[in-house]
Amino acid sequence: MEVIILVGHGSPKKDANQMDIVGRLLHGMMHPGCVKDCVKACYLQFAQPDLHAAIKEAAVGRPERIIIHPYFLNAGAHVTKDIPGMTEEARALYPGIEFIYTEPLGVAEEIVSVAKERIEAAKGEIKPLEIEKRSFEIIAKEAESMLESGILPGGILSGEKVPIVQRVVHATGDFEFMSTLIFHPEAVRAGIEAIRSGMDIITDVEMSRAGINKKALSGFGGKVMCGIDAVKGEDTSRTRAERGFCDLAAGQANAGIYVIGNAPTALFGCTRLINEGVLKPRLVIGVPVGFVRAVEAKALLASQAEKFPFITNAGRKGGSTVAAAIVNALILMAKQGFTSPGSGN
């Protein structure tokens, strides 16, 4: 086990002390999915905790090593004298722990790129498409680093699912989806063919519908529908999302893609109607988020591999943002003329 300590200078201006945010970001990048307090932030002056307190707290769990990183641009006195001195004191206090002291941020291409981006943004020169392009470049670079370090399994970013996985990460900022998204072997091909055929999409909630690029979909002749707002009366046996989705889907012959991003009950209802022969999907996208039955609903969907194509994910995470990102990736792939291997197109 190792603990990383980020050391900032600190400022009398309280809202300028944001090392805790940097620490959380670094933790998510280096230890995705970790719930331990293994990245700590501290300051040299003006703010708490200081470096002595951070080291003491880090040493409580008796980690194998403590890595101290000076979050400074240049190697001034703090970096070359003050922090190394405190690190040596810590080595004497905790002889059973290895202490590693890193270089400061220094002159790095990534930092210069950030400076360039700030300048261009201030001048109003960054266009929306350029922002998206840079975002995907960052995702690809960080994913490659995660593959090299073994955080992600090899081969996970290959083939036709890559554009979908990348767009989900782009929409959520969560790299965990790279390893939790689950694809039926025919899912991408089936989804693209349904979109190109002008088939409609039905969603569980308005948030899922709102996030889908309806203008791009309409270019193929399809539309996006949601029935939750049309639900009338009370029904204690079904949620509004399940009623709205199931009642609408059962009456739409042109619907080909069913999208559930929020409501596990809607996904259970969708699966039931498919097994009863009421619905005949080209693709089911089921990524509901939550603590109650979300995992079970997605597990049920994943068990239907012999019956119909699907895209889902393992675990509690998900949501309308994820669902819409998957659909938008498929629409873009259809628009760009993507051909799935073995499709014959």
| Tens-place pLDDT, residues 295-334 | 999 999 999 878 899 999 999 999 999 999 999 999 999 9
CATH no., domain 174-335: 3.40.50.10230
Q: What is the dihedral sign for C-alpha 18, 20, 21, 22?
A: positive
pLDDT above 60 for 344: no
Residues paired with 99 in a beta bridge: 66
DSSP-derived 3-state class of residue 340:
coil
pLDDT above 80 for 105: yes
The stretch 189-216 carries a mean pLDDT of 95
C-alpha closest to that of 290 among 311, 261, 270? 261
Rounded to an integer, what distance in angstroms lies between the CA atom of residue 272 and that of residue 304?
11
**pLDDT bracket for residue 125 (50, 70, 90):** low
11, exposed or middle or buried, with CB in 10 Å at 0-12, 13-18, 19+? middle
Q: What is the dihedral sign for C-alpha 208, 214, 217, 221?
A: positive
Rounded to an integer, what distance in angstroms lies between the CA atom of residue 159 and that of residue 125?
34
The stretch 272-286 carries a mean pLDDT of 94
Higher pLDDT pick, 64 / 115 = 64
Rounded to an integer, what distance in angstroms lies between the CA atom of residue 162 and that of residue 332?
13
The stretch 43-57 carries a mean pLDDT of 96
Task: Given the residues 9, 52, 170, 184, select the one marked as catalytic.
Answer: 170
C-alpha closest to that of 139 among 163, 119, 118? 163
C-alpha closest to that of 52 among 85, 97, 29, 26? 85
Structure tokens at 113: 């790129």
* Mean pLDDT of all residues belonging to the chain: 89
Structure tokens at 341: 């291997």
Residue boundaries of the structural domains of the chain: 2-101, 109-148, 174-335
- Per-residue model confidence (pLDDT) at position 52: 96
The stretch 109-134 carries a mean pLDDT of 75
Which pTM does this prediction carry? 0.65
Sheet with 65-70, edge to edge strand ranges: 39-43, 2-8, 65-70, 98-101
Instruction: Say which residues have a Cβ less than 8 Å from residue 138's Cβ, sequence separation at least 6.
Output: none
Do 2-101 and 174-335 fold alike per CATH? Answer: yes
Phi, psi of 34 (to 5 degrees): -75, 140
Structure tokens at 272: 């039931």
Task: Give me the torsion for CA of 176, 177, 179, 181, rounded to 10°.
Answer: 160
205, exposed or middle or buried, with CB in 10 Å at 0-12, 13-18, 19+? buried
User: Is 170 among the catalytic positions?
Assistant: yes
Residues in the chain: 345
Give the CATH architecture of domain 2-101. Answer: 3-Layer(aba) Sandwich (3.40)
